[in-house]
Amino acid sequence: MPLDALPHAAAPDFRALRDEQFPYVARAPYLNAASMGPLPERARRAVDAYTLRRADIHRMRGDDFEPTAARCRRLASSLIGAEADEIALLPNTSFGLNLAALCLPLRRGSRVLISDREFPANVYPWMALERTAGVTLSVIPADEHGHPDEARLMEELARGDVAMLAISAVQFTDGWRADLATLGAACGRYGAWFVVDGIQAVGQLPLDVRAAGIDVLATGAQKWLCSPFGTGFTYVRRELIGRMEPAVVGWTGQAASADLERVLDYGTEWLPGARRFEVSTQPWQDYAGMAESLELLLAADPARVQAHVAGLIDPLAAWLHARGVVITSDMAPERRSGIFAFRPEDVRGAYGAMQRAGVGCVVREGAIRLAPHLYNQPEDMARVMEVLDECLPR
């Protein structure tokens, strides 16, 4: 396909949003939201303004604390179809997965199911639990494409002895999307907890925790949610909150600590909702930024982001296909996402050319991984084709 015949699929308002909120990414194609997303200007300004108030400390105000966090919880819950009191603000995905590992009622001998080739954040907490609590960890081999073998996972669930299934909504290597609704329904039917690592999904496509029957969803906000490092959130289904005893205990999780003038009146009552899982003093300045980013993404609408990103990837996929390059991502509509991976014969050579051209991308498990987001535009993908054109065999 000649480069000038590319369909221009990007919605014009995303271009305006890019110019206004992500001016720096226009300098060279940044196609790496699956590693870290850029901060939009409104988030950067909010963090800067907060930090200035912090320096000029008499200007700190009541809204700088709990109301900022409450705004994040509300916005986060709207992104995933939950309620604000089902959200705990936690610093990364791992913290949320550890929360599930340590607080779900799992016992010695409980069977925990994961798939082979999961990102390690969703492996080590379960391996640790095997050592410390004696749970039985069943690691189900990936299918021949390296994706979770859902048929096999369903068979294991149907045995009725699985206490918990933990899986990524979107695989980090090539963007393969799990069929969360089917897995979640099976977990519900056979009495297993359903724990989801959401970091490669939330922000780039619609996700509804209730429709998918998810019990716990953990995500950092540093990637597709374009938020400061050290921000993230975990959803805990309302009915479970009371059954999960906090394992890492913060004084702010206790209702008795609400009155700062009398914190020595110790209590025994957790705060209502998932806030009980947040541990004490928070990175408030970062939440001020996170709230802005979440609001921006909600307004952009994850369904529109998904369509925009697919429209960016399609012409590149067609072009690579025509050049005989192996595309490792599954392009079926129900499996594809905003992560797109391909394997030229000379991966290192092609990656080197992309790096020299300033294209933000990475190599993961032997393939080049691109992760365009709402700020990317067709010319970014055209540039990738230009760069690859120079180094792919004719």
Query: What residue ranges bind ligand PLP (CB under 6 A)?
Result: 92-94, 119, 121-122, 168, 172, 197, 199-200, 220
CB contact set of 136 (below 8 Å; sequence gap of 6+): 109, 110, 111, 112, 130
Distance in Å, CB of 154 to ligand PLP, minimum: 21
Distance in Å, CB of 37 to ligand PLP, minimum: 12
Distance in Å, CB of 92 to ligand PLP, minimum: 3
CB contact set of 353 (below 8 Å; sequence gap of 6+): 387, 388, 390, 391
Strand partners, 236: 216
> Is the Cα dihedral 115, 124, 275, 60 positive or negative?
negative
d(CA 184, CA 213): 5
| CB closer to ligand PLP, 222 vs 254 | 222
- Structure tokens belonging to residue 76: 């986060």
- Structure tokens belonging to residue 306: 């998904």
| CB closer to ligand PLP, 93 vs 115 | 93
| CB closer to ligand PLP, 21 vs 122 | 122
| CB closer to ligand PLP, 34 vs 271 | 34
How many other C-beta atoms are found inside a 10 Å radius of the C-beta of residue 138? 16
| CB closer to ligand PLP, 121 vs 381 | 121
Cβ pair 287, 69 in contact under 8 A: yes
Strand partners, 254: 270
Distance in Å, CB of 158 to ligand PLP, minimum: 26
d(CA 86, CA 234): 8
Distance in Å, CB of 119 to ligand PLP, minimum: 3
The kind and range of the H/E element at 53 are helix 41-55
With CA atoms as reference, report the closest residue to 334 among 317, 310, 367, 308: 310
For 94-192, strand residue ranges (E) read: 111-115, 136-140, 162-168
Distance in Å, CB of 190 to ligand PLP, minimum: 25
* Shortest-Cβ-distance residue relative to ligand PLP: 220
Distance in Å, CB of 62 to ligand PLP, minimum: 30
d(CA 203, CA 373): 9
CB contact set of 343 (below 8 Å; sequence gap of 6+): 325, 326, 327, 328, 366, 367, 368
Distance in Å, CB of 203 to ligand PLP, minimum: 13
| CB closer to ligand PLP, 34 vs 47 | 34
| CB closer to ligand PLP, 36 vs 347 | 36
Cβ pair 47, 263 in contact under 8 A: no
Strand partners, 193: 164
Distance in Å, CB of 170 to ligand PLP, minimum: 7
